[in-house]
C-alpha cells in the first residue's frame, strides 16, 4: 500500500495505490495523519490505483470523513475502480462520500 499526500490549491490530494487491507491499514492509519490535521480543508482521495479495500480500509476512510465533518472540511473520492465502487455500494459508503469520476 502506498499513500502519497500533496498540497493542491484548495487542500490536500491523497493518492492511494495498492491494497488497503487489514495489514496495510495499520501503517495507513499513521500515514493519513496529515489529512486529519488538515481536515478543515478539502481532501481529495484519488483511488485510481487502489486495487482492493477491506473493512479496515473502509474504517480509515470513515475516520477521515468524520474528522472533516467535525472540522468543517470536505472529502471527495475520485477515480474509483468498479470493484471498489461495488464495495462502496454494498456497504452504504457510496452515499457517505462525494464521489467523482475522472
Q: Are 88 and 62 in contact (CB under 8 A)?
A: no
Tens of each residue's pLDDT in the chain, 102 residues: 999 999 998 899 999 999 999 999 999 999 999 999 999 999 999 999 999 999 999 999 999 999 999 999 999 999 999 999 999 999 999 999 999 986
User: Among residues 58, 67, 64, 51, which one has the least CA distance to residue 88?
Assistant: 58
What phi and psi values does residue 73 have, to the nearest 5 degrees?
-90, -165
Rounded CA separation 100/36 (Å): 21
Q: Which three cell numbers stand for residue 26?
A: 495499520
Rounded CA separation 80/83 (Å): 8
Q: At what angle do helices 22-31 and 55-71 cross, to 10 degrees?
A: 20
Q: Which secondary-structure segment (H or E) carries 57?
A: helix 55-71
CATH code for the part of the protein at 2-100: 3.30.750.24
Q: Which secondary-structure segment (H or E) carries 17?
A: strand 11-20
Q: What is the pTM of this model?
A: 0.94
Amino acid at each position: 500500500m502506498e499513500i502519497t499526500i500533496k498540497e493542491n490549491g484548495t487542500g490536500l490530494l491523497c493518492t492511494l495505490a495498492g491494497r488497503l487491507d487489514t495489514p496495510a491499514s495499520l501503517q495507513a492509519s499513521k500515514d493519513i495523519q496529515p489529512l486529519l490535521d488538515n481536515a478543515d480543508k478539502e481532501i481529495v482521495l484519488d483511488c485510481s490505483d487502489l486495487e482492493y479495500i477491506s473493512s479496515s480500509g473502509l474504517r480509515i476512510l470513515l475516520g477521515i470523513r468524520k474528522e472533516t465533518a467535525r472540522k468543517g472540511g470536505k472529502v471527495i473520492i475520485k477515480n474509483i475502480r468498479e470493484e471498489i465502487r461495488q464495495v462502496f455500494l454494498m456497504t452504504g459508503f457510496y452515499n457517505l462520500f462525494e464521489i467523482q469520476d475522472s
